Structures are given as C-alpha cells and as structure tokens.
C-alpha cells in the first residue's frame, strides 16, 4: 500500500528545509529565444493510425518566496500517486547558497536550465556545469551528497523533475549525465521542432541512459501551427508550458505560460496548436505502480528503507562516497 502520510511529511520537511513561505503574484519568466540556432536536425513523418489523447486537467503554478528563493510547484508532491513515476516538478529561481550540499537516495533528478548557469557537484561523480537550455540528469541510486548552485554572483532559473526509481534499482550505483542542448537530436514536424532529451521519436533517440522509461522533449511550435507528437499509451503524460499559449488535446483545452497540461494517456499521441509561439516541456513516463515511502531528500518503497536512509546519513555514509575514477 502506498504510504501517503510519508509523502505528506516529505513535502512538509523538504519545503521547510528550503524555507518556502508565501505566494508572489507577479513572477516573470525568462525563456529561451525562439530564434535559437539549431543543430542535429532531422525530420519526422507522422504515422497513420495515431490516436490523439484528451486533456484531463490544466493546473496553474503558484509561486512562493523566501528571501532570494522563489519556487512554484508545477507538479505537486502531494499527488505522487496520480503522477507516477513522477514525484514532483519544481520551478526554482535562486541564488548561490540556496541548494548547498544535501543528500539523495532512490530517485533521479532531471534539471532543465531556464536561464543562467548552474554548477553541480556531488561526492560520487564530481563537478558539472550546465547553461540555459541544457539538462542535468542525476541518478542518486544508493546515495549522493551534492550541491546545485548558480555561477557566483548570479541568479538561475531551473525546472527540476524528480523521477522515482523502481524498487530493485533504488540502491544502484549513482550516475550523472550532462545533456547539452547542442548535442541533443532535434526533430522537425512541419514548422515545429522537438529537442529530444530522453526517449525516442520515430527512428530518432536521445543518447540519455534512463532507468525508468521516460520521454522528455523540448517542443517549440510557431503561432498558428499544430503539431502531433507520438507518445506511448498508458504512460503518465503532461506538458509544462513555459512560453506562449495554445490549445491541447483532442478536446482543445486552452493553456498558457505557468500552467501544466495533463493528458489522459488513452491514445498514442498528443496534439497542440499554438495561439502564440509555444515553448513547452513534454514529459511522459511509464508508471511503476509501487509503494512510495518519501520524506525529505529520500524516496524508498518501505518505511524501513526510509529509516535506513536517514540512519546512513546520520552515520556519515553519504559523506564517505568518493568520486568515481574515469
């Protein structure tokens, strides 16, 4: 049985540790320009027989601020069961010192840089740097102690997704992948472009190593255009709208920036039509259907495993992990 109370305590303790406090009404985004130069472009032809999904819900992200840290929950941690295998998606605007050294176990974090530069370090995999439009894919596995900071003296905005790991993969070796935007394949469908950060589109596939089957696409649709993107049936599928506005799904639900569009999974594709130039992050993942025991930075399948994670942290286990040799 899923441990919902642990999910609740997880949210409370994690949000408290980051000092989230109140909603700000007029948060402004900084986005990538639609004129960005593209490489690795290929073309995809829509397959016959694709069935577009309906939209079940459009949610609006609300923002909170404490000091120099602004955050909005795009996917709410209180809805882990509904969003399986995704745990939550946060939009953070932060400065140096917000996310200093902290541990993780049992999850993957997928961080997309909306603006700025983010410098990453963990005790198992060493340093990494990502810039606007790049992605950091970290597999915590059995444990990492890491930090994520903007370049000194600057701010950064990121969207960070937590992906649950299967029970038999939670104690695997940790890993870190730097996914530079310029190195990812870009697929054209009509006038629209889709950058593949994880998963496949037709014959084209991102080089990313994923544990749980996940698709992560950056989608750009010019105003007045419609795009249909193949998506596995029965997966949890949602789109985070970063810029512009449009309609989504066969039921043509409208959505705009700072909203998330949830699809019903009953089909083989998603469709979107841009009213204004659209920049969307499209996520899809195969549900695990496993118990969730979550608190703070740890996500396991039982209370016993969760308690062991905290015990390991108190005993210094995460501090003794060493950088892997190349």
Question: 60 near 30, Cβ under 8 Å?
Answer: no
Q: What is the pLDDT of residue 162?
A: 96
Residue 271: which of 324, 204, 192 has the closest Cα? 192
Whole-number pLDDT of residue 167? 97
Report pLDDT for 326: 43
Look at residue 120 in the predicted model and tell me its pLDDT.
Answer: 85
| DSSP H or E stretch at residue 159 | strand 155-164
The domain limits of the chain are 4-22+40-316
88-113 pLDDT tens trace: 999 999 888 777 788 899 999 999 99
CATH 2.40.50.140 is right for the domain spanning 4-22+40-316? no
pLDDT at 123: 73
- Among residues 323, 321, 288, which one has the least CA distance to residue 105? 321
Q: What is the predicted pLDDT for the residue at 54?
A: 97
Q: What pLDDT does residue 151 have?
A: 84
Alpha helices (H) in the chain, listed in sequence order: 4-17, 303-314
- Residues of the chain with pLDDT below 70 are 1-49, 319-326
Place of tokens 């009509």: 190
Torsion of CA 258, 264, 270, 273, to 10 degrees: -50
Output Rg (C-alpha) for the chain, integer angstroms. 19
Q: What is the pLDDT of residue 45?
A: 55
């Amino acid at each position: 049985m899923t441990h919902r109370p642990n999910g609740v305590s997880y949210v409370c303790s994690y949000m408290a540790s980051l000092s989230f406090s109140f909603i700000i009404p007029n948060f402004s985004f900084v986005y990538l320009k639609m004129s960005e130069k593209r490489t690795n472009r290929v073309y995809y032809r829509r397959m016959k027989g694709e069935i577009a999904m309906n939209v079940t819900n459009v949610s609006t992200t609300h923002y909170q601020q404490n000091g120099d840290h602004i955050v909005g929950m795009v996917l709410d941690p209180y809805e882990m069961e509904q969003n399986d295998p995704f745990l939550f998606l946060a939009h953070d605007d932060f400065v140096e010192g917000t996310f200093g050294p902290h541990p993780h176990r049992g999850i993957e974090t997928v961080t997309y840089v909306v603006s700025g530069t983010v410098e990453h370090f963990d005790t198992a995999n060493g340093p990494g740097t990502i810039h606007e439009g790049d992605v950091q894919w970290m597999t915590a596995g059995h444990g990492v102690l890491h930090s994520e900071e903007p370049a000194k003296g600057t701010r950064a905005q990121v969207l960070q997704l937590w992906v649950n790991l299967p029970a038999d993969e939670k104690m695997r070796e940790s890993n870190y992948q730097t996914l530079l935007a310029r190195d990812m394949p870009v697929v054209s469908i009509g006038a629209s472009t889709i950058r593949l950060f994880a998963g496949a589109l037709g014959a084209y596939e991102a080089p990313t190593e994923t544990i749980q089957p996940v698709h992560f696409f950056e989608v750009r649709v010019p105003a007045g255009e419609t795009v249909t993107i193949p998506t596995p049936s029965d997966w949890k599928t949602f789109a985070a709208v970063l810029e512009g506005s449009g309609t989504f799904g066969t039921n043509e639900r409208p959505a705009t920036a700072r909203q998330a569009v949830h699809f019903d999974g009953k089909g083989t594709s998603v469709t979107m039509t841009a009213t204004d130039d659209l920049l969307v992050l499209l996520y899809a993942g195969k549900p695990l259907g496993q118990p969730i025991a979550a608190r703070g930075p740890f996500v396991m399948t039982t209370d016993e495993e969760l308690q062991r994670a905290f015990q390991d942290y108190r005993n210094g286990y995460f501090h003794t992990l060493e950088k892997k040799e190349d």
